[in-house]
Amino acid sequence: MEGVQPQDVVQDLRLARRRQTELCRQKRIFNARNRIIGGDTKAWDVQVRDQNIKEATERARQETFAAEMRQNDKITCILEDREKRDRKNLCKAINDFQQSFQKPETRREFDLSDPLALKKYVPARQSDSDVRNTISGMQKFMGEDLNFYKRKKFQQEQNREWSLQQQREWRNASADQNCAEELYAKTRLQFDERAKHLQTLESATRRAVCASVKEFNKSQASESAERKIQQKKQEQEDNLAEISNLLRGDLLSENPQQAASSFGPHRVVPDRWKGMSQGQLEQIRTVQKQQVQEKLRLQEEERQRDLDWDRQRVQGARATLLFERHQWRQQRDMRRALDGSNVRLAREQLQRKKYMKELYTNHPTEDYFTQFNTRSR
C-alpha cells in the first residue's frame, strides 16, 4: 500500500464508477420492454429527484441569501444609528467643552472687544457705602446722607401706586364677576323661556297631528265601507246578469249553430260543440268501410310485390353462387401453378445453398456471435 499514489486511487474510483454506469445503461438498453413498449421510469424518477433536489438547493440558497441580506440590513441600520449617536455625542461634547472651557471672557484680548465695557465701567462713586469712598478721596463725610429725602419720597410714591393698583384690580375683578353672573342668569332665563315655548309648540303640534290622523282614519273607514257596499252590489248585479245570459243563451239550449267556426264549415269551436248528428256518423262509418277495403287491396299488392322481389333475389343468389364456384376453380388452378413454381424455386435455392456451402468452408463459431450486443454504445 506504500506504493499506491492518490492519482491511482482517483483513477480506480473513476473506472469503477464508469463500469457501474455502463452496467446500469446496459440493463436499460437491453430491456426490450422498456426500450420498445414503454419509457425508462427509473431514469425519469432519477431526473425528477435530481430536479427536486436542484430546486430545493436553489430555494435554500435563495433563502440563505435573503437571510444574509436581512442580517446585513439590520447590522447596517445598527451601525448607522450608532454612528449618528456617536456623532451627536461628539458634537454635544464639543459644545459643552467650548461653553465650559472656551468662553469668550477667558480670552486674553476680550477686554479690547468687550461689547459691555461701558456698562461694566465703574463710576467714581456708586453709593455712600462704596469702599472706594476713603477719607482721602473726599467723597463722603461723617453724618451725610445725600439721597435720603429722594429715596423716602420714591418709596412713598411706590407704596401709593401699589395700593392704587391693587384697588383697581379688585374693583375690575368684582365688576367682571357681577357681569358674568348677570349674563349667566339672563342666558338661563332665555333658555328656560325658549324650552317652554318649544314644549308648548310640540304639544299643540302633536294634538293637531293626532286630530288630523283621527279624521283621516274616519274618512278612510267610511270610504272603505262605502266601497265594499258598492262592490257587493255590483257583484250581485253581475251574477244576476250572468245567470240570465246562461238561461237565455245557446249553451244550455244546445243550438248546433253555436259550435260553427268562423274559419270554415268543416271546423267547430271545441268548448261549444255538442257532438255529431246521426247523418254525420253514418257518413263517417261509410268512409271507414271504404278505407278498410282500400287498405286490404294495398296489402294484397304489397304481398305480390314482395313475392316478386323474393323470386328475383333467389335467382340473383343462384347466379352469384355459380359465379363464385367458377372463380374458385380459377383460383385453385392458379394456386396449383403457383405451388409448382414455388417448389421449383425451392429446389433451385437448395441447390444454390449446397453449392455455397461447398464454396465457403470457413464456418463461423459461437464466439463470433457472442461478441455482439455486449456494450450499450
CA distances from 91 to 98, 119, 277 (A): 10, 34, 130
For residues 298-318, average pLDDT: 90
Q: How many domains does the chain have?
A: 1
**Residue 372 φ then ψ, to 5°:** -90, 155
Cα distances (Å, whole numbers) of residue 70 to 57, 64, 74: 20, 10, 6
Which is higher by pLDDT, 279 or 348? 348
Amino acid at site 37:
I
Residue 122: inside a domain: no
Examine the pLDDT at 256 and tell me if it is beyond 70.
no
Residue of higher predicted confidence among 161 and 354: 161
pLDDT at position 37: 60
Residue 218 resides in a domain? no
314 in any annotated domain: no
CA distance 39 to 28: 10
Q: Report yes or no on 29 lying in a domain.
A: yes
Instruction: Say how far apart CA 66 and CA 74 lie, in whole Å.
Output: 12
What nine digits make up the cell of 253? 239550449
Dist. CA 351–CA 344, nearest whole Å: 11
Cα separation, 358 vs 221, in Å, equals 136
Tell me the DSSP string of 3-69.
T--HHHHHHHHHHHHHHHHHHHHHHHHS-HIIIIIS--HHHHHHHHHHHHHHHHHHHHHHHHHHHHH
For residue 120, what pLDDT is reported? 77
DSSP one-letter code for 318:
H
Averaged pLDDT score across all residues of the chain: 82
260: confidence class by pLDDT, cuts 50, 70, 90: low
Q: How confident is the model at residue 54 (pLDDT cuts 50, 70, 90)?
A: very high
Cell of 145: 446722607
pLDDT above 60 for 4: no
Residue 319 covered by a domain: no
Domain containing 73: what range? 8-101
Q: Is residue 162 part of a domain?
A: no
Quick check: is 230 in a domain?
no
Domain assignment of residue 22, yes or no = yes
pLDDT in tens, 126-150: 666 677 777 676 666 666 666 777 8
Helix residue spans in 102-147 (DSSP H): 117-120
The yes-or-no verdict on residue 207 having pLDDT over 80 is yes
Q: CB of 258 within 8 A of CB of 251?
A: yes
